[in-house]
Structure 1
Amino acid sequence: MKEDTLVIHEIYASIQGESTFAGLPCTFVRTTGCNLRCTWCDTTQAFYGGTRMARADVLARALATGTDLVELTGGEPLLQPGVFPLMRELCDQGRTVLVETSGEADVARVDPRVHKIMDLKAPGSGESHRNRWSNLEFITERDEIKFVLASRTDYEWMRDIVRSRDLSSRTPKLLASTVFGKLSPRDLVTWVLEDALRVRVQLQMHKYIWAPETQGV
């Protein structure tokens, strides 16, 4: 059955570098494959390849690291049917489970115990036309919406979406990230303060601890 196996790029323990869980020890289960091609993507190595593994083996390896926090990421993890029962099984084992998803994939089947960290793609990504706006119906206060911004234009798009769609009424966890090396975090902070925008500015912590191009951290 398709749900019995997953194609996995890597499984490793590190710290969570983004989101409201930033800084906590976390096991990452990175799946292979993505149907988007964002201009700023920093995980293109996960587009292809990987190893097909039994779901039970993926679960065992994720649990063996001993971290309380486990994140499913990619690529785009929700493209693989086996991810949905895997997330349920991790929750059943008492883990706090995160899934990082593009905003294009349907999140309706995600176990309600899982914390969804969902992108909304700004124009600079080249994929903003792929946002699945119906996903917002499944966002609750435990979930997080992330914007990755490469320019002032991207920022203004985010500001208008936050306000026009009243996103803070769905979740207080609205994350504003800069494309590393592309947009100055200081500029982003200035704009957020000027507009009194209810978002959390965040940096990719792992890119400041290790070299930005380092994989598996």
Structure 2
Amino acid sequence: MLYITEIYKSLQGESTWSGLPCTFIRLSGCNLRCSWCDTEYSFSSGDQISIENIIEQVKDLDCDLVEVTGGEPLAQDDAGLLVQALLDLGKTVLVETGGHMDIDLVSNQSFRIMDLKCPASKMTHRNDLNNIAKLTSKDEVKFVIQNKDDFLWAEKTIREYKIEKKCNVIMSTVFGVMCRKELATLILQSGLNIRMQIQLHKLIWSEDTQGV
């Protein structure tokens, strides 16, 4: 059983999978409190649903790409069982997780998108950098950048742990706070192989729209 905030089909708005139709399974609850969080509604909302029921809803939405997200999905004990059930169903599975939980709680046959928290999030102290050694070439590391100090911290971390040699590295701005042109300039100046992303769903719909 898992606590679920919402299950819906939309376009993937982030990661290297951006723009593709995707079914989202948003698990409830999070053990972080990032200053810029855009899914606070998932902290306490949701219903307890069996994995079998979740799988039936996924089948009804008829989409090959599925993302398990949150909140923090890995904070629920049965998240790994859900991911495995989706893989057994033949789905391509993305798992969006913070950098503070053991990413090996879910199968490395999924595509794990790990969000390392920069200083402006006020959650940097919770990052578990041991996860970096567990990354595969299928995985992705995301940094949400609010200001230049965030970028410099992320750049230092990428270089120190050679993250860009392990997997895709993605950066985006805190929506509506940092100028995208500033982040683009910093990426170009760094010389690092970083992919800049824009939260596509917030441009198509609106920043506060749920279920998209």
**TM-score with structure 1 length normalisation?**
0.96
Is 1:102 equivalent to 2:98 in the alignment? Answer: yes
Pairing of 1:86-165 with structure 2 (within 5 A):
86-165=82-161
| In structure 2, distance between residues paired with 1:110 and 1:53 | 19
| In structure 2, distance between residues paired with 1:214 and 1:150 | 21
Q: 1:25 aligns with which of 21, 24, 32?
A: 21
How far 1:55 sits from its partner (Å)? 1.2
In the other structure, the counterpart of 1:78 is: 74
Structure 1 ranges of 4+ moved more than 3 A: none
Q: How much identity, in percent, do the aligned residues show?
A: 44
Specify the SS of the correspondent of 1:20: coil
Q: What are structure 2's unaligned runs of at least 5 residues?
A: none
In the other structure, the counterpart of 2:192 is: 197
- For each residue in 1:184-217, what CA deviation from the matched residue of structure 2 results, as whole angstroms up to 9, or x when unmatched? 1111111111121211000100000001111110
Is 1:37 equivalent to 2:33 in the alignment? Answer: yes
| In structure 1, distance between residues paired with 2:151 and 2:107 | 31
Specify the SS of the correspondent of 1:155: helix
- For each residue in 1:137-187, what CA deviation from the matched residue of structure 2 results, as whole angstroms up to 9, or x when unmatched? 21010000000000010011111111111112211x100110001111111
How far 1:109 sits from its partner (Å)? 2.4
Give the counterpart letter for 2:61 in structure 1. Answer: T
In the other structure, the counterpart of 1:183 is: 178
Specify the SS of the correspondent of 1:108: helix
C-alpha RMSD of matched pairs (Å): 0.8
| In structure 1, distance between residues paired with 2:136 and 2:188 | 25
| In structure 2, distance between residues paired with 1:63 and 1:139 | 29
Give the counterpart letter for 1:80 in structure 2. Answer: Q
Specify the SS of the correspondent of 1:119: strand
Give the counterpart letter for 2:123 in structure 1. Answer: E
In the other structure, the counterpart of 1:54 is: 50
